[in-house]
Each structure stands twice: as structure tokens, then as C-alpha cells.
Amino acid sequence: MSRIGVFVCHCGLNIAKTVRVSELAEFAATLPDVVVAKDYKFMCSTPGQEMIANDIKEHRLDRVIVTACSPLMHEQTFRKVLAASGLNQYLLSIVNIREQVSWVTHDIEEGTAKSKALLNGAVNRARLLAPLTSRVIDVNPDVMVVGAGIAGIQAALELANTGKKVYLVEKNSTIGGHMAQFDKTFPTLDCSACILTPKMDNVLQHKNITLMTSCEVTEVKGFVGNFDITVKQKARYVDHDKCNACLACTEKCPGKGVSEWDEGLVKRKAIYIPFPQAVPQKPVIDRDACTYFIKGKCRLCEKVCEQKAIDFEQQDTSTTVKVGAVIVATGYDLMDTKPLLQYGYGRYPGVYNALEVERLFNSAGPTGGKVTLRDGREPQAIAIFHCIGSRDKNNYEHCSRVCCMYSLKFAHLFKEKTSADVYQFYIDMRAAGKGYEEFYNRIIEEDVKFIRGKGARVAESADEPGRLIVEAEDTITGKFIKLPVDMVVLSPAMKPRADSKDIARLFNLSTDKYGFFMERHPKLAPLSTMSEGIFIAGVCQSPKDIPDTVAQAYGAAAEALTIVVKDKLELEATTAMVNPASCCACLNCVRVCPYGAPFFNEQKGVSEINEALCKGCGLCASVCPSSAIIARHFTNDQVLAEMEGLMEF
């Protein structure tokens, strides 16, 4: 037997105009188990709340029904009233007779009748409500940042400056990401290294940052506040604790590897640091290029190392790190343009992709900052093709957002460093950003030729060996352009890292069809994900420029902080649980849960639910054929009882 109190709100005339509120209260009083039923002008007002609190005490109520506005409005208000009166807050039921009754009808008969039905349903359900307790958990105050490009670096520094301990995990042997490859940044044309390397150095020096280069996350367990993350340290074959960065080894090494840093334009040693300002500035050995690993002898580096830091026996190792929140900032790759045969990338030496050109401009790059072709000539005419693989149904449908601007930057740098004629082949010029339109105007005035038409084909010139012919329509004149050039620059689509789907699986993120991570809400929660405690920043979410990436990094740091500043975290109480006696081990719950909360307990032979991961959607309960799963606060019984009540009147 329950003792239910029903409180009907007039909401001034908002409800009372089209629902006979006193009649509703009288009706409530006739329902079984209802021991008190009242109506009042404003139930959410202080006197209204006090009335409920008093009645809870006076009538020893164990269930409260407030018949008023939408639960999305005042459920929390009335829950607090219950809690303050010593009643479990989940023993409250709200009947929405304002938004879903009085405001959507003019007919007081209809309004009253519908309200009665809704109230009857609520009383039915209220009898079956159970007290629920929220679980409170301790929060680990540390944060992990995955990916140490500009986004990861910025986020790590922000968090570390607040005093939080940060693990910064980077797959490569140095931090810096793509930004460290650039020479200048648009639209201000400031030097990329000048603004980035001080930050890289800060990371290295910061006492709160544990830098983990040549590392990859291999397993993520736990949940918000308490993640256990396994990180694999790939063998570097150099003991960085002993190495004093004299780099004598790199001078002597006879091995030759392809320089990833220089986009394969040049070779590097087998023991190497990617570039002079790399952080950490200590070498690693590329196993695939090392003479010793290939042929079984050499070990020259070992001989010249006074610190005895070379260790050919080094193995991959794993460590587990405990953190309360994670920021994923894994960045992007450029699309491989080789399959687009019409552009001849990889076939004609004069065709470059954008990152290769970034390296050509860079004074630390393969040409020392001189723009020369692979055969050493200076180009006389250069075509820049926009939208290669972007805005393209056959490849990537999205606009890569930065190509227009960096293509303009290229044009400027070409003009600055060569005497070449520069042509831009574009579809639309997108210059929406602070100072971007101005930058566009500046480049126009530098006498760059703009051809409004997408580059269609690159072919070898029949007449002049080594030259290329680019073909496109100038859609403004409708003329077919055949233009001899020496260099073609492709601005390819930005795509998520090749392993983004693996990262998504590890952290239980969802991705779009290309593998960009999905944010929780495109406008209101752009940095959170559907996985509580995991945040995203930078291009791994969608293509964006450096200013936006940095802004996101600050935001993600703040988001992570909202979790790790607290000692304790209250978890959702309306979670699901398994009644082991009814579980038939069909594993449907395990299959469907978007959060990986249910798991199969091999020993007991039944499914169980990790309530810390559960968000209370109830999907598992509906796919459970033997009704073994109890979706708290929305149990089968409660829903059926409510339905029964609704259909009775």
C-alpha cells in the first residue's frame, strides 16, 4: 500500500483556464492509495513547495505527484523538495498538464478529461516507483591528451598550468604535428616554428606534463573519472635517460631511411631526430632502415656513443596510466592523390602535394627553403589545384576549409621566392575568417592569376620535355585552358588519421563515414563526445585552421577540467541492471549498448551491467527477450502500469 499525495498546479491561469483544476484534485482523491490531493495557484512557488513538504510529513506520504508543467521545467525543483523532506527524490512523478494539455487546447472539457487520464496513469506508475540512489565515485585528478600536434600541446599546457598532471601521448618520436612542418601560417604569414617551438619546449620543461613520445594507446578501460589506459612505448633502441643528445650517432650512421618529416622528399639516417628543433631532441632508430637490423652487423652508433645509450635489445613495453578525463587530438592525414590518375601525382615529378610544398618553403626543409623542382630547376610557371578530393562525392564530400587559404599562402611564397607565374584553379574562393578576405585581396594584388574552374587533367608536354600541361575550363569565359607549367601543386582533402577508427573503438567514440570523430552536439557540445569524460579537439573532429584548432584546445582543456576539479562525481541513478535469475545469456544487451556498459560474466554465465558506463537509455531492456533487464525508473512494470492508467479514462 502506498501513500500518495497529488498536487495540482493552476499555474495562474495557464493551466486553470482550460483544465478544471479543483475537479482534477477531487478526482485524484478518489483514486486508490491517494491520501491527499490539493490544488494551488503556483506549486513551484515557495508556499507551494512548503505545502508539499508539510503534507509529506503530515500525511506520511511515500509518493508525490505534481500535476503541473513539463518535467523538463521543474522536475529538479520538486525532487529537491522531496529530498529535503527525507523522501527519496525518485519517488516523484510529474504530470505535464500545461505544455501537453492546457496550452494545446481551448476546450476545458477536453483539457480536464485528458488531465484525468494522465493523472490516473501517473498514480498507477507512482505505486511502482522505487527509491534510487546515485552512486558517487572518486575522481582521478589527472588527464591524458592523445596526440601532440598544436591542439594536444595547447590543451596539455593549459591543463598543466592549472596544476593538473597531464600525460601527453604522441605516436611519433617528436611532438609538434603538422604545424611543425609548415614554414609560414596564413593569413598573417608569421613563422610557424617561431610560434610553435617555444610551446614545444614548454611541454618538455613543464613539471606537470609527462611526455610520452613513440607511444600508442592500446587499451582503455573504466569510465569517466576513472580511466585505466594502457600505453605502449615503442622501442626506440636508444635509452633516452642516458642519451645526452650529442647526436654523434646520427653523423656516423650509414643507414638511409625516408624522411617522413620532409614528406619523403629526402632521405634521413636510420638513427635520427626528425628535425633540429624536435622535442625530445633525442634520436631513435628506424628498425627498417638500420643496417644492423637488416644485415646483422654495423652498430657504428653504439661505438660512437659515449653515454652507452644505444640499446639494440630494447623491446616495446606497456604501462597503465590512471586518469579522470581524456582529450583526443589526433589530427589528420592528407588524402593520397595517387589514385586520381588524371593529376599524375606520383607519375610526373613536377606534381606535388601541399605538405611537400610546405617543406620546400621551409628553411629547415630539403631544399633549405629554396623552391626548386625535383630536377633542381626553378619553376617558371606554377598551377595550384584546389579541392582535390574535397567537395567530391567520389572521394570526400566535405570542404577541407583551409586549402583556399594555404593555396593563397603558397602563391604568395612562390611569388616571393621565385619569378614564376602562379595560377590558382579553384571552384569557389572561401575566405571566411578574421583577416582572410583581406589576405585574398592582397594575393590578388600580387598578380596571381585566378582561374575559376576545377583542374581537370595534368599531362606531360609533348613539345617541351619536363614541362607539364594543365587542362581546365575557365568557367567565367567558358574557354578551355591548356597551360604549360613546370609545377603543379595539389591541395588534397584532409582526412582523419588512417587509424582514427581504431582510436574511436578504443575510446568508444562515434565517427562520421570518413572517420572524423563525432561531437556530442554540433553547436552546444562541440568538444564533448557521447563518451562521458572523453573530449576532442582539432582536425580529428573536422578540418579546421590553426586559430580554430587552438581555440578548441583551450575549450577541451576547460571541459576536461570540469571533471577533474571535482573530488567526487555523482553518477546517473536511472541506470539499468540485470536480474541474473532471468538472464538467458543471449548477449543482445552486450551487442546493442552504445556505451559498452553490459558485459558477459563468463563465470556466472549471465550478463552484467557496469553502471558507471550506463546512461539509462533502456535499449538493453527492450532487446532483452527474457525481461531480465530492469531499466530503473522506466521498468517494464512502471511503463505498463502507466499505459494502463492512461487508457482507462
Residue in 29, 84, 104, 136 binding another protein, rule: CB under 8 A: 104
**Residue 105: CB minimum distance to another protein, A:** 5
Instruction: Give residue for cell 583551450.
Output: 554
Q: Considering the rule CB under 8 A, would residue 582 count as an interface residue with another protein? A: yes
The C-alpha cell at 628 is 531480465
Q: Which of residues 504-543 bind another protein (CB under 8 A)?
A: 510, 513, 530
Phi then psi for residue 226, to 5 deg, are: -145, 65
Q: Considering the rule CB under 8 A, would residue 565 count as an interface residue with another protein? A: no
Residue in 453, 492, 526, 555 binding another protein, rule: CB under 8 A: 453
Burial 59-70 (b: 16+ CB within 10 A, else e): eebbbbbbbbbe
- Pairing between strand 166-169 and 209-212? parallel
Q: Considering the rule CB under 8 A, would residue 110 count as an interface residue with another protein? A: yes
Q: How far apart are CA 113 and CA 606, in angstroms?
A: 46
**Residue 537: CB minimum distance to another protein, A:** 20
**Residue 478: CB minimum distance to another protein, A:** 5
Q: Which of residues 376-395 bind another protein (CB under 8 A)?
A: 387, 391-395
Q: Considering the rule CB under 8 A, would residue 588 count as an interface residue with another protein? A: yes
Q: How far apart are CA 592 and CA 545, in angstroms?
A: 36
CA contacts within 13 A on the Cβ side of 455: 33
Instruction: Give residue for cell 579541392.
Output: 387
Binding mask 601-620 for another protein (x = CB under 8 A): -x--x---------xxxxx-
How many residues of this chain interact with another protein, rule: CB under 8 A? 82
Identity of the residue, 99 or 311, whose beta carbon is nearer to another protein in the bound complex: 99
Q: What is the chain's Cα-based Rg?
A: 32
Residue in 415, 585, 608, 611 binding another protein, rule: CB under 8 A: 585
Q: Considering the rule CB under 8 A, would residue 65 count as an interface residue with another protein? A: no
Identity of the residue, 288 or 644, whose beta carbon is nearer to another protein in the bound complex: 644
Report whether 390 contacts 493 (CB < 8 A). yes
Report whether 163 contacts 184 (CB < 8 A). no
Residue in 113, 246, 258, 304 binding another protein, rule: CB under 8 A: 113
Q: What is the DSSP string of 184-205?
A: EETTTTEEHHHHHHHHHHHHHH
Q: Considering the rule CB under 8 A, would residue 455 count as an interface residue with another protein? A: yes
Which range touches another protein (CB under 8 A), out of 60-68, 139-147, 370-378, 633-641?
633-641
Residue in 101, 323, 399, 408 binding another protein, rule: CB under 8 A: 101
**Residue 472: CB minimum distance to another protein, A:** 5
Q: How far apart are CA 4 and CA 19, in angstroms?
A: 22
Q: Which of residues 466-495 bind another protein (CB under 8 A)?
A: 471-475, 478, 480, 482
The C-alpha cell at 600 is 558477459
Q: How far apart are CA 249 and CA 241, in angstroms?
A: 16
Q: Considering the rule CB under 8 A, would residue 76 count as an interface residue with another protein? A: no
- For 207, residues 6+ apart whose C-beta sits below 8 A from its C-beta are none
Residue in 41, 454, 501, 566 binding another protein, rule: CB under 8 A: 454
Q: How far apart are CA 327 and CA 146, in angstroms?
A: 6
Which residues are bridge partners to 394 per DSSP? none
Identity of the residue, 151 or 494, whose beta carbon is nearer to another protein in the bound complex: 494
**Residue 529: CB minimum distance to another protein, A:** 10
Q: Considering the rule CB under 8 A, would residue 108 count as an interface residue with another protein? A: no
**Residue 581: CB minimum distance to another protein, A:** 8
Q: Considering the rule CB under 8 A, would residue 132 count as an interface residue with another protein? A: no
Q: Which of residues 414-443 bind another protein (CB under 8 A)?
A: 427-428
Residue in 317, 342, 363, 601 binding another protein, rule: CB under 8 A: 342
- The closest of 243, 237, 238, 175 to 204, measured between CA atoms, is 175
Q: How many other CB atoms sit within 10 Å of the CB of residue 221?
A: 11
